[in-house]
Amino acid sequence: MPAGTTPTTTVLTTRGLLLDMDGTLVNSDAVVERWWRRWAVEHGLDPDEALKIVHGRQGYATMAVLLPDRPVEQNLADNRVMLAQETADTDGVVPVPGAPAFMASLADLPHALVTSADENLATTRMKAAALPIPGLRVTAESVTSSKPHPEGFLKGAAALGLAPADCVAFEDSEAGITAARAAGMSVVGIGPRALPHAPTAHAHDLTHVRVEPLPDGRIRLHVTA
C-alpha cells in the first residue's frame, strides 16, 4: 500500500470458501519459475513472456497457449515430466504470509482446495509450507478442463453442497479469477498478480483477511486493501 494511503476494508458474506493453492496459500514461485524458465528456453521461447501466463493453469494448458500448433499429446507428455520435476523440488516453497492463521480459522468452516496442481503436487506443497490439507480437494485429476474454465470451482461448490453464488473463491492469477467469475462467485484476490484483474476484493496477503463465523452458519470475510 502506498505511503499515506488509507486502508479500505471490503466485507463479504458467504457460506463456503474455495481456495486456490499456489500463490494464494503457498508461495511456490521460486519452483514454478525455475522449471518453466528452463522449459521455455528449451523450446525457444522468451521465459519472461512465458511466466506471464503460467500461473493458475495446468501445465498442458499453458503449453497449448505458448505452442498452439503442437499436438496435445506432446503437451500432456511434457506436463507429466514437469509435474514430476516440480513435485520433487520444494526448495523455496513457503506459506503466503498469514496462511497458517487463516487456515486455522477455517478448521471448522466449509472450505475446499481448488487447484490446478495434481493430488501429489498439492499434498507435497501444502506439507512443505506446513499448512493443513483440506479434506475436500478439487485437483487436476478431478476435472477435464483447466482454469480459466470454471469446472473446478463448480465442482468445489458441489463438494460443499452449496450453490456457486454461496461461495467465495480465493485466487492469485488471471486464469483463476476468470474461472471463479465464470462459476458465478465473488473473488478475493491475493497478492500482486491478482490486482490488475479486478477481483471483488483484494488483499496483499492473508494477514489482511479476517474470517468471522456467524451464528446462522454464514461466514463474514473482512478483506483489507
- Catalytic positions are 20, 22
Yes or no: say if 113 and 21 are a contact pair by the CB < 8 Å rule. Answer: yes
Q: Is the peptide bond before 68 cis (omega within 30 degrees of 0)?
A: no
Amino acid 111 reads: H
Yes or no: say if 115 and 125 are a contact pair by the CB < 8 Å rule. Answer: no
CA dist list (Å): 224 to 8, 109, 202: 6, 21, 7
- At what angle are helices 29-42 and 72-88 packed, to 10 degrees? 140
Contacts of 38 (CB under 8 A, 6+ apart): none
Q: Is 118 helix (H, G, I), strand (E, B) or coil?
A: coil
If you ran DSSP here, which 8-state letter would residue 68 be given? T
